[in-house]
Structure 1
Amino acid sequence: MPSEIQLTESERKLILALHKKNKSHREIATKIKRSKTVVTHFLKDPLKYGLRKRTGRRKKVDERTKRLIIRTASNKTISCANIVNDLCLKMSRWTINRVIKRSNILKKMKKKHSPALTTAHKDLRLSWAKDHMIWNNEWHKVVWSDEKKFNLDGPDGFSYYWHDLRREEEIFSTRPLGGGSVMIWASFGWGGKSSICFVDGRMNAKGYQEVLKKHLIDIGSCMGGSDWIFQQDNAPIHRAKVNLAWFKSKKINVLPWPSLSPDLNPIENLWGILARKVYSGGKQFRTKEQLKTTIIKSWEEISIEQLRALVKSMPERIFEVIKLNGAKTKY
C-alpha cells in the first residue's frame, strides 16, 4: 500500500498536547483521524519525524547497465536471453525486455528488404548522385513510376503487434500465396498523380507500352510540366528495345537510372503510404474486387502536399548517397 501523507505542523502539536494529557495512541489517532501507526511513529522521536529518506526498493538494473543493454541491442538481431549471456548479467531475460521497452529509443521493427550492392553498383549510384547534385526545381519535372503488388491477406512479411494478455489473441488469417493478389502500376510528380492501372497477368514489354499509352502520355505534362522527364527502374520490360524506341518516337525524355536503387525513388515511400491506408487496422480482403476498390479509394485520399513532400526529399537523398559513397541510404 502507498505510504500515508506526513503529519502537518498543527497535527503534530495536537498529538503532543493530547499525549501530555495521557491519552492513548488509539485515542489520539481517532481524534486527529489518522492511523495509530502514524501516531506511534511520531511519538517515538518527534524531533526526527519526517527527516528519514525513503530510499525504496533497490533497483534491479542501474543506469550504467541499462545503457550497456541498450547499446548491445541497438540495430542488432539479438534475443534478450543472448544479451544476458553475452554481458554475463545476473537477471532474467524478462528484465532485459523491460529495459528495452522502457528505453524510448529502441522499437521492434521488421527488417527492410534491399538488394545487395556490389562495388560497381555503388560507383554508378555515386556517379549518378554527383551528376544530379545541383538539381533543385528540376525534380519538379520528373514523373516517378513503378509497379506494386498488393495481397488479399495483407502486406508481405510478418505482422507484429503488442498483445494485451487480458484479451483474446489476434489471429492473422492467411491463405496460400496470400489468398491472391493484384498488381498495380502508377506514377506521380510535383503536379499530381496518375490513375491506378491494374495489371492482369504477367506484363511483357508490349503490355508495359500499352499501360504508358493509357495512363501516362496524356497526363505527363500535368504531373511534370511541358518538358517533363519520365523515371522508371531498369526492369527488363522497361529497358526493352521496343520501348526505348517508342520513348524516342514520342520524344519522352527518360531519366537515366542506377540499378538496384529503390531508395532513390520516392514512389517507394508513396507505396508505403498507400499500403498503410489499404491495410489500416489489420484489414484483409475476401475478393480482389474489394481490394481494388480500397486501393483506388486510398490512392485518391493521398494529397498533393504528400506528393510534393516526397519530391522535396530528392536533394537530401542525393546528399545521403554521396555521403555514403554510393551505399544504401535510410530511404
Structure 2
Amino acid sequence: MCVDCHNQQQRPSPNPPAAAAAAPPTLFPPHAGNHAPLPTVQRAAIVVLDKQGLPRTDIAQQAGTSLPTVRHWLRHYEQKHDVADEPRRGRPRCTDEATDINVAVVARVEPHQSTPKQVKRKLDVDASPRTVRRRLDEAGLYGRVEREEHTLDENDLRRRLSFAHGYAHWTAADWERVIISDEKHFTLGRHGQQYVQRPSGEAYNPLYTHTANENPTMVTIWGCFAAQEIGQAEIFEGDLNSKLYGRILEGNLKPTYRKFFPAGQWYFLQDNDPSHTSGLAQSWFHRNGVTVLDFPPWSPDLNPIENVWPVLQRAVEQHNASDEAELEAAIQAEWEALSPDFLAKLAHSMPKRLAEVIAHNGHKTHY
C-alpha cells in the first residue's frame, strides 16, 4: 500500500454512516399466550398498522403478538370486514329467559325445597334436572348441605351487636392482649364417614359394616391461647362444673397470663357456659384481677379458638389412638404443635369479625 492510500485509510470519513434507526416503541405489552383471546383493541391496531403500510413483522412487534396472529386477523378482516369473534357454535339452550328467571325465583323463595328435581316438577320445566342444576348455578344458587344452627332471637342479636360496636375501635394490637379459651371433646374410635371396599349387593354383610359405639371413651381439653403462642391446657374426664373450672383456672390460666402479661392490662375471653359464669368462677376472676370480656351468647364465630378445634381434631385423628392414654397423648402432642403464626392470625382476625357482625346486623358470619 502506498503512503497516500495509507493516509487516506487513517483519516475519518467526512460523512460517517448514520446510526441505525431505533425500533419504534411497542403499543401493547406481549400477549398473554395462545389460550387467551387477543383483545379487540389489539386486533383493531393490527388492521390500522397494516393500512399504514408497516411490514407485518413490525406490526407483530408493536401489537405485542405473534406473526401468525397478525396474519390470522388480517385475513379475518379481509373476509368479514370486522375483528369481532365469530358466533359460538353449540347446542342451543332448551330453556328461555323467562324459564331461567322463574327457576331462580322459586329457589330463592323456597331455598329448602328447591332441588333441581323439585324445581322441575313445580314449574313443569321441559328440561332435565341436570339442566335445571346448571340454571341454578348460573343464578349463583349452588347446592350445599344445609347447616344446623341455633336461631338467634332479638335479644341475641342485640347483645352481639352491642359487643361488636363496643370493641369496634380495638385494633389487632389491642387483641394481642387478650387470652382466648374454650373446651373441646374428643372421643376414641371412628369419626365421620368411613369407606369400605365391598362387592355389589353386600352393603349389609357384617364383614363390611361396623357397630356404633353407644358409650365411646371421651376426654375433654380446656385450652387457651393469645397472639403470642398457645397457653397451658388441661385434659380431663367427665363434665365440666364450677369447682373443676376453678381448679383449671388456677392451674392453667394463672401461669399463662403471668407468662404472657407480667405487667400491664390484659383481658380474658370465654363463652357463656354455666361453669364459666358461675359464682365460683366470678369470685376467682375478682380475686385475681382478671377482666373478662362481656362475650355474647351463641357466638362461636366471635371466638377464634373455635377455628383451632377442627385443625386439632384432624391432627389427633391421624394418630389412630387405640385407648384413652394414646388419645390423651395425641391431644397433648398436637396442642403443643399448633403454629404460632396460625394463632396470631386468628387473634388478629377479631376486628374483621366484629365488622362482619355489624354489617350483618348481628346475624352469624362466615367465621
TM-score, normalisation: structure 2: 0.62
Give the number of equivalent residue pairs.
269
Structure 1 residue 305: Cα displacement: 0.7
Q: Matches of 1:152 and 1:63 in 2, distance apart?
A: 55
Q: Report if aligned partners of 1:189, 1:224 keep a CA contact under 8 Å in 2.
A: no
Tell me, yes or no, if structure 1 residue 85 matches structure 2 residue 121: yes
Provide structure 1 residue ranges, at least 5 long, that are not aligned to the other structure.
1-52
Structure 1 residue 94: Cα displacement: 5.2
Tell me, yes or no, if structure 1 residue 235 matches structure 2 residue 273: yes
Q: Report if aligned partners of 1:152, 1:291 keep a CA contact under 8 Å in 2.
A: yes
Q: After TM superposition, list the pairs within 5 Å mapping 1:289-300 onto structure 2.
A: 289-300=325-336
Q: Matches of 1:301 and 1:67 in 2, distance apart?
A: 51
Q: Report if aligned partners of 1:141, 1:225 keep a CA contact under 8 Å in 2.
A: no
Q: Secondary structure at the match of 2:365?
A: coil
Residue 300 of structure 2: which of 262, 269, 283 is its match? 262
Structure 1 residue 144: Cα displacement: 0.5
Q: Matches of 2:299 and 2:130 in 1, distance apart?
A: 40
**What one-letter code is carried by the residue in structure 1 that aligns with 2:126?**
K
Q: Matches of 2:334 and 2:140 in 1, distance apart?
A: 31
Change (3 A) 1:102 1:133: closer
Q: Matches of 2:88 and 2:353 in 1, distance apart?
A: 53
Structure 1 residue 275: Cα displacement: 2.0
Structure 1 residue 270: Cα displacement: 1.2
Q: Secondary structure at the match of 1:134?
A: coil
Tell me, yes or no, if structure 1 residue 327 matches structure 2 residue 363: yes
Q: Report if aligned partners of 1:229, 1:254 keep a CA contact under 8 Å in 2.
A: yes
User: Matched residues, percent identical?
Assistant: 30
Change (3 A) 1:202 1:276: same
Tell me, yes or no, if structure 1 residue 205 matches structure 2 residue 248: no
Provide structure 2 residue ranges, at least 5 long, that are not aligned to the other structure.
1-86
Q: Report if aligned partners of 1:277, 1:298 keep a CA contact under 8 Å in 2.
A: yes
Residue 343 of structure 2: which of 284, 290, 307 is its match? 307
Structure 1 residue 152: Cα displacement: 2.4
Change (3 A) 1:259 1:104: closer
Q: Report if aligned partners of 1:184, 1:198 keep a CA contact under 8 Å in 2.
A: yes
Q: Matches of 2:102 and 2:286 in 1, distance apart?
A: 59
Q: After TM superposition, list the pairs within 5 Å mapping 1:1-331 onto structure 2.
A: 58=91, 76-77=111-112, 78-93=114-129, 96=132, 106=142, 108-109=144-145, 111=147, 113-136=148-171, 137-154=173-190, 159=193, 173=210, 175-177=212-214, 179-223=216-260, 226=263, 227-279=265-317, 285-331=321-367
Change (3 A) 1:173 1:71: farther
Q: Report if aligned partners of 2:217, 2:324 keep a CA contact under 8 Å in 1.
A: yes
Q: CA RMSD in A?
A: 3.8
Q: Matches of 2:328 and 2:257 in 1, distance apart?
A: 24
TM-score, normalisation: structure 1: 0.68
Q: Matches of 2:347 and 2:162 in 1, distance apart?
A: 21
Q: Matches of 1:307 and 1:108 in 2, distance apart?
A: 29
Structure 1 residue 107: Cα displacement: 6.1
Structure 1 residue 91: Cα displacement: 3.6
Q: Matches of 1:197 and 1:189 in 2, distance apart?
A: 16
**What one-letter code is carried by the residue in structure 2 that aligns with 1:273?**
V
Q: Report if aligned partners of 2:95, 2:127 keep a CA contact under 8 Å in 1.
A: no
Q: Per-residue CA shift, 1:25-70, capped at 9, x if unaligned?
A: xxxxxxxxxxxxxxxxxxxxxxxxxxxx9956x3676696788767
Change (3 A) 1:62 1:197: farther
After TM superposition, the structure 1 stretch with the greater mean CA deviation from structure 2, 88-97 or 287-296, is 88-97
